Amino acid sequence: MNLLTNSIRKIALLIGCCLFAIPAWASIDVTGVVRDDSGEPVTGANVVIKGTTTGTVTDIEGKYRISVPDEQVVLQFSFVGYTTIEETVGSRKIIDVILEESSTSLESVVVIGYGSTVKTEITGSSSSVKSDNFNQGAFTSPIGMLQGKVAGLTIINPDGGDPQSKYEFLLRGTNTLTSGQSPLVIIDGVVGTDLRNINFQEVVSIDVLKDGSAAAIYGTRGTNGVIIVTTKRAKEGKTQVEYSGQVSLSVNPQMVENLSASEFADVINKYKPISAGSIYTGDTDWYKEVSRSLPVSYKNSLAISGGTAKFAHRTTFDMEHQDGLQKRNEASKVLLRSNITQSAFNGWLDVNYNIFYSVRKYAPKNTDVFYQAFIHNPTEPVYDPANTESGGYNRIIGVSYYNPVAMVNEFDHDLTTDTYGGNARFSLNVLPVKGLKWDNFISYEKSRWDEEKYRTHYYPSTIGSNGVATIGNGSEYNLQYESTVNYTNTFGKHYLQGLLGYSYGEIGSKESEMINRGFDTDLLGTNDMEAGAGLKEGKGEMTSKREDNKLISFFGRIMYNYQSKYLISASIRREGSSRFGDNNKWGWFPAASVGWRITEEEFMKGIGFINDLKLRFGYGVTGNQSFDNYKSLLLMGVSGKFYYNGEWINTYQPISNPNPNLRWEKKHEMNGGLDFSFIGDRIGGSIDVYYRKSTDLLYKYMVPVPPYLYPEMYTNVGAISNKGVELTLYGKPYVKTFTWTTFVTAARNVNRLDKFTNDEFQNTSYKTGWLEGEIALYSQRMEEGKSLGTFYGPVWTGVDEFGEDKLKGQAPDGTVAEDKWKVIGHAYPDVTLGWSNNFGYKNWDFSFSLRASIGGDVLNKYRLYYENVNPIGLKNIARSWLDDPSFTGKSKYSSKYIENATYLKLDNIALGYTFIFKNNKYISSIKLYAAAQNVLTVTGYKGLDPEVKLTELEPGIESMTYYPRLTTVSFGIHAQF
């Protein structure tokens, strides 16, 4: 009996053990994808069985695989910067989740080179601006939405209201003399693509990599920083339709003020009666004659998105039109973009496709029209029907003096650009090592343009040529291939992310142009080029060129942290460019940065009001290869012809010197930073201090012939340094029903030309900033130990009893020798500031942005040339002369015309209201908004606008061929269905 009982017990125990053991071998495999709310995969997200330490992390494509013991298990999905989500397994074997970004600024995601991280763990200097904080309104480029938002990033639109205007941006000062100064732009992984080929309303975030440690992963293109633009992507979900419409009106053009007809006549009669013959019977507002009264622009966009985890799409169609202030100046664009994500082979392979096609049509501005409108005699009528030679326009012959109305009406200028391209990313998810992924990315874009220009028989500057026709066309392609292997894993308290990659890039272009003149009629324009007499008379012109360059790179990076407390990042890039000389094709670009999150230390645990305190330090080496192709080679060009054996034969000569030692400009940069957050992340920000030095500067130097083949040598000589400090602050004074977030940026940069010559290459001309016409001198100098953009000139001390300018150290004839000139100004500002505010109350939102620039100087060329009575008669003069009519002498370049460029601008105001339709199956929401841009400028500057061009080697000089800035008011709607 006992034996039987014991046997039964043993059998029961064995059966029980087997039953309890079943889950160990009959566990459930759960797979899925973790994405953010924009549809992008989240790399390194934690997937943990709730209540245990068992878990895994997502790979580079956001995919995971985990074994769970039963259907009652709850999985927790978490990632720094996102709200944790819990999902019960149940009968599901595939669980895809979407993590919503946390409102906590500390946890926001920052895009870096070839990856992403979170703000708390970044060790380089970078800034991330999300769509909620963008400037609102109408923009010719997405970069405009970033203006004033990033400390140290100067964004200027020098062409004002021109529909083709491009923003110029400068990060942490000028690092070069002749190479490109703009940061590298990357859009959805494509390097160097045109910002105009995306809809700015589709941008999700813009990340700016500032220092060398952050940008070194991009090698010879990272010296000026990197701007990474991320747009909306396909994501799973029900089909959604979005419509955006916007109408913009441009008002209040800022013109340089000149004399009205009555003021013109009064000044001549009182101060220069010798020019009384220049007073005619007209009363012409030349600005009004060449300008539209109310330029209107519109934009329509339609987006369709949706799909499943295995196939999702987002397609947008955009139509835009913008009128310029100048008559016959306008631009239109049609853009189609589509993004598709696809999962194949049971999740082993993910593919992301992007295709786009755009057509842009322009009637470009005539850069001289507004200048001619300024100088034109306001008593002169527009038309003179008796003057048949000029086509019935009034024509007074003078040096560079042309009827601006005729310039607009008698010039047909059309430019069409069509661009198409696509890219695809193939991600292999199943590899032998856990956390290891292989990505292959290929992109191809091609742009073609056609330009037609026709100046009629009556175009003022070509009268007598009987029409001048120009046809130009060209194309450019951009091929990019990248292969990267990514490794991401967590080992207890250790987190490791590794990257190895290869990159190949190729850019090529070709263009041609032909010009003919002498046409019998203007009716055919450019459509009958062979009819012009210029070809037979030897006055026709034809040009063409073709070029390309290649860039090959190998790179790697390791990011490691321990308990999110001690952070290390190191990268290196080996890069070769066809632009360099034979002896310097390849270069190394290393970088390293470290971080210490002080708040994670035990001694900080009791300090509750400090949420985050992190020290950062980084060092990196970057390069600049943004210069023309073939500069290292001996190039030959046509030098003349000789007649031999009955035919003309070309002769050739060198047009450049070979330089096998030509190499990239190299920048070494150190950056120290402190990130902080207090009082529940209600207040926070960062401080960065940096020093960067660029060496091996490229410049043209005059050399003797012989021994050289050509009198100019393009070579590496010189060094520039920039040092500065940047401050970013954010605050959340109110976060309840009424919300208010505020952002402040401040930056100071000091530029210095450390070295410009060596024993072999010395340039005798250090002068820049040429002033044409009757002034005819250089206003700036490049001098070792001084900042670029330094103005030199005589010091003005007032006006003497004869109405002439008094200058310090002047000779009896009123001139001042150049060796007595002084430093009279600096182009770059001392400090730049930005202040942005966002308010919300229920369904209302309101925002405004201010920008300020303190210090810096601008040469006011309109005052220099036209704030005196001498030109009056044939030409008009600046109205500001009436403020001090005691000056009746000739204009002389001096400190009198160098003005302080300090300003405060109310850049942007926006107000919106969102209607939410909770129970409507057709409409989800409708947002109505109004925005105004370039609203108000407060400045003591007497010219058009103190915010002038700061790039290149002649910064701080206001151009006389300007395009007026406008105040733009926009009204828009965004509807989701």
> Tens digit of pLDDT for each residue in 664-699?
999 999 999 999 999 888 899 999 999 999 999 999
d(CA 858, CA 902): 10
> How many CB atoms are located within 10 Å of the residue 650 CB?
10
CA neighbor of 832 nearest in space, from 731, 903, 899: 903
Rounded to whole angstroms, the Cα distance separating 458 from 388 reads: 9
Residue whose C-alpha is closest to residue 873's, from 401, 394, 382: 401
Rounded Cα distance, 117 and 686, in Å: 17
Q: Which DSSP string corresponds to 890-906?
A: ----SGGGEEE--EEEE
**pLDDT higher than 60, residue 7:** no
Quick check: helix, strand or coil at residue 449?
A: strand
- What is the DSSP annotation of 568-629? EEEEEEEEEETTS-GGGSEEEEEEEEEEEEGGGSGGGTT-TTEEEEEEEEEEEEEEE--S-T
The CA distance from 359 to 336, in Å, is: 9
Share of the chain above pLDDT 70, in %: 95
What span, in angstroms and rounded, lies between the C-alpha atoms of 50 and 875?
82
Would you report the helix, strand and coil content of the chain in percent, each value rounded to 5? Answer: 10, 50, 40
The H-or-E segment that residue 11 falls in is helix 2-25
Torsion region of 257: left, alpha or beta (phi above 0 gives left; psi -120 to 50 gives alpha): beta
What are the E-state strand segments in 200-329?
203-209, 226-231, 237-251, 296-307, 311-323
Question: Mean pLDDT over residues 917-923, rounded?
Answer: 84
When the pLDDT of each residue in the chain is averaged and rounded to a whole number, the result is 89
Residues 6+ apart with CB under 8 A from 601: 565
* Neighbour-count burial of 772, counting CB atoms closer than 10 A to its CB (0-12 exposed, 13-18 middle, 19+ buried): exposed
Residue 101 has pLDDT above 80, yes or no: no
Whole-number pLDDT of residue 183: 92
pLDDT at 851: 96
Provide the percentage of residues in the chain whose pLDDT is more than 90: 65
Distance CA 291, CA 297 (A): 15
State the first-to-last Cα distance of the chain, in angstroms, to the nearest integer.
Answer: 78
**Identity (one letter) of the amino acid at 718?**
G
pLDDT at 909 over 90: yes
Given this model, what pLDDT does residue 641 score?
Answer: 82
**Cα 790 versus chain centre, distance:** 25
Of 267-271, 448-452, 534-538, 780-784, the one with minimum mean pLDDT is: 534-538
Return the structure tokens found at 364: 């470009």
Read off the pLDDT band of 73 (50, 70, 90): confident
* Predicted local distance difference test score (pLDDT) of residue 118: 79
Segment 625-640 mean pLDDT: 90
Q: What is the pairing mode between strands 226-231 and 237-251?
A: unpaired
Amino acid at 642: F
475-513 pLDDT tens trace: 999 999 999 999 988 888 898 999 999 999 999 999 999
314: three-class secondary structure by DSSP: strand
pLDDT, residue 2, reads 45
Mean predicted confidence (pLDDT) in 567-595? 95
* Closest to 199 measured CA to CA, from 114, 98, 363, 314: 314
The DSSP result for 746-781, as a single string, is: EEEEEEEEEE---SS---S--EEEEE-TTT-EEEEE
pLDDT band at 16 (very low <50, low <70, confident <90, very high): very low
Nearest residue to 555 (alpha-carbon basis) of 474, 484, 475: 484
Spatial contact of 697 and 719, defined as CB atoms under 8 Å apart: yes
Q: In what order do the strands lie in the sheet with 85-88?
A: 55-57, 46-49, 74-78, 85-88
Question: Do residues 637 and 181 touch, judged by C-beta distance below 8 A?
Answer: no
pLDDT digits (tens, 9 = 90+) for 366-418: 989 999 999 999 999 999 999 999 999 999 998 899 999 999 999 999 999 99
Which of 185, 197, 190, 253 shows the shortest CA–CA distance to 221?
185
Q: Rounded CA gap, 521 and 533, in Å? A: 12
Give the model's confidence band at 19: pLDDT under 50 very low, under 70 low, under 90 confident, else very high.
very low
Which is it for strands 805-807 and 844-854: parallel, antiparallel or unpaired? Answer: unpaired
Cα 430 to Cα 13, 107, 427, 435: the distances in Å are 41, 30, 9, 9
Name the nearest CA neighbour of 748 among 868, 831, 686: 831
Which residues are registered as beta bridge partners of 462?
none
Q: Is 487 helix (H, G, I), strand (E, B) or coil?
A: strand
In the sheet that 28-36 helps form, which strands lie side by side, from edge to edge?
Answer: 63-68, 28-36, 97-99
The C-alpha atoms of residue 62 and residue 56 are separated, in whole angstroms, by: 12
Question: Which residues have C-beta within 8 Å of that of residue 666, sequence separation ≥ 6?
Answer: 587, 621, 622, 623, 624, 694, 695, 696
User: What is the pLDDT averaged over residues 185-213?
Assistant: 90
Instruction: Give pLDDT, residue 17.
Output: 36
What does the pLDDT read at residue 317? Answer: 96
For residue 321, give the nearest of 295, 302, 301, 298 by alpha carbon: 298
What's the Cα-to-Cα distance from 347 to each of 33, 62, 429, 430, rounded to whole Å? Answer: 9, 11, 7, 8
Residue 5: predicted pLDDT: 40
pLDDT at 206: 92
CA distance to 359, 535, 763, 861, 898, per residue, from 942 (Å): 41, 49, 36, 11, 10
Q: Is the predicted pLDDT of residue 662 greater than 50, yes or no? A: yes
Using the predicted structure, report yes or no on whether residue 21 has a pLDDT greater than 60: no
Instruction: Give Cα 130 distance to the centre of its chain.
Output: 16
Residue 13 has pLDDT above 80, yes or no: no
Q: Cα Rg for the chain, rounded, in angstroms?
A: 33
Q: What is the mean pLDDT of residues 134-152?
A: 89
pLDDT of residue 102: 63
Residues contacting 465, CB < 8 A, separation 6+: 455, 517, 518
Q: At 269, which helix (H) or strand (E)? A: helix 261-271
Residue 132: phi and psi, rounded to 5, are -65, -20
The predicted structure's pLDDT at residue 38: 66
Contact yes or no for 459/407 (Cβ under 8 A): yes
Give dist(CA 68, CA 95) in Å, integer. 13
Could you tell me the pLDDT band of residue 125, with boundaries at 50, 70 and 90? very high
Taking only the tens place, the pLDDT of each residue in 29-56 is 899 998 877 677 787 788 888 877 677 8
Bridging pattern class, strands 97-99 and 28-36 = parallel
Rounded to an integer, the average pLDDT of 575-588 is 94
pLDDT of residue 60: 67
d(C-alpha 615, C-alpha 881), whole Å: 55
14 versus 942: the higher-pLDDT residue is: 942
| 3-state secondary structure at position 265 | helix
Here the tokens at position 573 are 């890039």
Q: What is the pairing mode between strands 184-187 and 226-231?
A: parallel
Instruction: Give the DSSP H/E element, type plus range, for residue 865.
Output: helix 861-866
**Residue-wise over 132-162: b if at least 16 C-beta within 10 A, else e?**
ebbbbbbbbbbbbbbbbbbbbbbbbbbbbbb
Under 8 Å between Cβ of 907 and 849: yes
More confident residue, 924 or 930: 930
Confidence of residue 159 (pLDDT cuts 50, 70, 90): confident
pLDDT (tens digit per residue) in 216-248: 999 989 999 999 999 998 887 888 999 999 999
Residues 6+ apart with CB under 8 A from 367: 961, 963
